[in-house]
Every structure is written in C-alpha cells, then in structure tokens.
Copies of this chain bind each other. A is one copy, B any other.
Amino acid sequence: MARLSAAEAVFNVLRTEIESGKLGVGAKLSSEATLAQQYGVSRSVVREALRSCTALGLTVTKTGRGTFVVANRVAKDLVLGQYSARDLTEARPHIEVPAAGLAAERRSAEELSMLREIVAAMSGEDDPEVWVGLDSSFHALIARASRNKVFENVVADIRDALAHQSETLNMVADRQHASDEEHRRILAAIEAGDAATARIAMSQHLHAVGIALDSILNA
C-alpha cells in the first residue's frame, strides 16, 4: 500500500465515517480547527480533506457555519445523467422484483429487524417528506439484502432519482396507506423466506405505484 499523505489519511477517515453512516446526512462536522487538533494536523490539511469530500458531493461547507453531511455515498449525478419518469417505471420491476426474491432467501436477521422498524415507522408517519425517506430506505434495504451489488447499486440510483422528482411527493399523499399495506405484505414474505411470494408482492406494489405515477403524469 502506498504511504498516504496526512491529507489523504484524514480524507479517508472522514469519507469512511460518512459512508458508513456514522455521520448521518444532515450531521454537522466538527470545526476545521477542532478536527485539526483532533487528528494532530494543521488546518490546511483538514481543509484539503474537506474539499475532497465536497468534490465527491458528500459534504457542503457554509461560510461562518461549518461543514455538513449531505450524502452518505458518492452521487452518481457526478457521472450519470438523470432518469426520466418513464425510464424508472419501466426499469424498476425488472430489478426490484428479482431483488425482493433474493432478499427473501438471503436477508440477515439484522436486516429483517431493520425492515420491520422501517415499516412500523411508516405506518405512523404523517409528514410526506419523512415518509418518502423511509420508503426509500425500505426499498434500498431490500436491494442490499439481495446480496447482489448490481441490484443494490441500481436501486440506490433509482431511489435517488425518485427523491429528486417533484411528482414523487404529490403522489405520496394518495398512495400512502395503500403502500403501507403492500410494504407489510412484502415484509411478511421476506420474513417467511418465501421468494416467490416476495416477488409477487413487490411486483404488485410497483405496478400499483406505476399506475399512480402514470395518472399524475397524464393529468
């Protein structure tokens, strides 16, 4: 392994802390001076490390206020173009349905309990913005539980794109309770380790969401 410069070392630490979720989105990092003292380096070094994080879209730094985490992974917008609504509704079933099947077979106990928590939290959630965030986590976690990095990455991508689409929020209000029920069915199948049922439940869920989206787009 190549010897790292101090700046690279600090950058790696910060990046790891952000991507691992130890520093959640919205969290405020310590001040540059504090970090410098903490890691035993000068402020220049810390600043260069923070710049690297910012270049990757992980953080934003606001003059006079501090540095804040805005993403826990490198945004693909850096590399890839935006997806259209049609792209998403068309592609999602082909990816999320098999991912749900695999998740039923491969999910860990830990993932299962996280899924349960998410579904429970969504039932009692009124704020659409928060609900959308939970929904995103639900689908992303299923993809991760599929133990297939292709699915995991694509779903993360798709959820990112959805979160940036204004239509998403409009749709949520109507579909929220119906989706809660569909999510519960998906969860039940994954809990039971029943891949076929998980695929069917996910398929129906996406189909229902797709129809809801279509009716908004054509209105």
Contacts and interface: CB of A to CB of B under 8 A. Distances in A.
Interface residues of A, number: 41
* Chain A, interface SS category: helix
A110 to B, nearest CB: 20
A82 B7 CA distance: 25
A31 interface: no
A127 interface: no
A52 interface: yes
Interface in A44-102: 44, 47-49, 51-56, 63, 73-74, 76, 78-84, 86-88, 90-91, 94-95, 98, 102
26 contacts: A7-B51, A52-B54, A52-B55, A55-B56, A56-B56, A56-B78, A76-B79, A80-B149, A80-B153, A81-B149, A81-B153, A82-B149, A84-B149, A87-B148, A87-B149, A90-B102, A90-B150, A91-B98, A91-B150, A91-B151, A94-B94, A95-B150, A95-B154, A150-B154, A153-B157, A154-B154
Interface of A: 5, 7, 11, 44, 47-49, 51-56, 63, 73-74, 76, 78-84, 86-88, 90-91, 94-95, 98, 102, 148-151, 153-154, 157-158
